[in-house]
Amino acid sequence: MDTGSHTTWVQCEGCNPCFSLIQTPNFPFQRSQSYRSIPCGHQECPTPREACYGSSCGFKARYGSSVGPSTRETIAKETLTFSSDRLGDTELHDNIFLACGLENQNIRFPQPNKIAGVLGLGPGGPGTSPIWSQVLKKRFSYCLAASEQTSSRLHIGEGARMVGPQVVSTPLVKGANPSLYYVGLKDIGIAGTRLRIQGLYAGGCIIDTGAPYSSLLPNAYAMVRNGFIQYFAQFGMQPYGNGSRPSDLPRFDLCFPRTPPGFRFPTMTFHFRGADLVVQPTSVFVVGANFICVALKSSDKKTMLGAYQQTQHEFSFDLEIGNRGTLFFAPNNCGAPT
């Protein structure tokens, strides 16, 4: 479920290269009676001719960096069936744009891999429309599970509405990339104390479930990093330096040795415009047998709230409220393990 892109695709039979060891078979599109291919250059094809896949309407995407995951695929129309809480057991939608991933590179997921494609929830842009728009809805919500033993949840439509005493909201704002969702970020706090980082979030904060971890612009990251170092110093803990850093640590910049008795993990708060997102320690730190790492990254280009920091909360995007829409959220454990 990716709020950072808007094309929905699955890996299809005949892919080469493929991302391997997925738990479900590749989609057998040639045996689907409802699959309808779109010729290159046809008026239904939402992408330019240079993106064609052979004689078919096509699409190319790269996620993240220039050496990151990429896919090349053919775009078709397909019938998708969703479970529904209003129209009986299921709700059927035909003529949905679905891309078939046939050349998938650098896409690596831990085993066992349940992931076989991307469900595009972004605001839209060049190419196909996001899935919520194609099923004629303007509201969706998700709750990302913190545990691999728990299923994450997605609602599209009326079931995505959020109400309750803990629900807060912040407006979506204009950002540099119209294909991404942005909110206004005012400050960051550690253990309930604001760091007073004014003016370091130019361009807004992207909400991206397709990014594993959050990232901050270098100056803001440096102040947050220093804030964590000062907090850990209260317990006599110093971060690993380049010379003392064990080789088996995760690839995070700021890591500490295992905690001493009496240590209390801090929360991290994103102070958005009109709403505070209090991220619990299990969604801030990656903890191993002999280390604690802060799951944040520095980025020269963007401030972004990634998936790890979104766990244990439910988020709802209502694209009818406000000029650009409104983001609602509230704490939620996303259900019991399944």
Fold of 168-331: Cathepsin D, subunit A; domain 1 (2.40.70)
Mean pLDDT rounded to a whole number for the chain = 91
What mean pLDDT do residues 44-67 have? Answer: 87
Q: Which residue has the tokens 């220039």?
A: 66
State percent of the chain over pLDDT 70. 98
pLDDT of residue 65: 65
Q: Which of 160-164, 197-201, 317-321 has the highest mean pLDDT?
A: 317-321
Nearest in space to 158 (alpha carbons), one of 181, 125, 124, 135: 135
What mean pLDDT do residues 110-124 have? Answer: 86
Task: Tell me the domain boundaries of the chain.
Answer: 9-136, 168-331
Q: Which residue has the higher pLDDT, 147 or 14?
A: 14
pLDDT of residue 338: 39
Specify which residues 169 forms β-bridges with: 328
Nearest in space to 281 (alpha carbons), one of 261, 291, 295, 299: 295
Question: Could you tell me the CA-to-CA distances from 115 to 64, 112, 243 in Å, in that order?
Answer: 17, 9, 37
Per-residue pLDDT tens over the stretch 231-284:
999 999 999 987 788 888 888 999 999 888 889 999 999 999 999 999 999 999
Asked if 119 contacts 131 with a C-beta cutoff of 8 angstroms, the reply is yes
Helix and strand element counts for the chain (H, E): 3, 23
**Weakest mean pLDDT among 9-18, 48-57, 236-245:** 236-245
pLDDT of 167 over the 80 cut: yes
pLDDT of residue 336: 55
pLDDT of 61 over the 60 cut: yes
pLDDT of residue 131: 95
pLDDT of residue 94: 93
What mean pLDDT do residues 126-130 have? Answer: 89
Domains 9-136 and 168-331 share a fold: yes
pLDDT of 37 over the 70 cut: yes
pLDDT of residue 66: 62
Per-residue pLDDT tens over the stretch 177-197:
999 999 999 999 999 999 998
Fold of 9-136: Cathepsin D, subunit A; domain 1 (2.40.70)
pLDDT of 200 over the 80 cut: no
Single-letter code of the amino acid located at 139:
R
Model confidence band, residue 67 (pLDDT cutoffs 50, 70, 90): low
**pTM for the predicted model, two decimal places:** 0.92
Q: How far is residue 308's CA from residue 134's CA, in Å, rounded to a whole number?
A: 28
What mean pLDDT do residues 213-223 have? Answer: 95
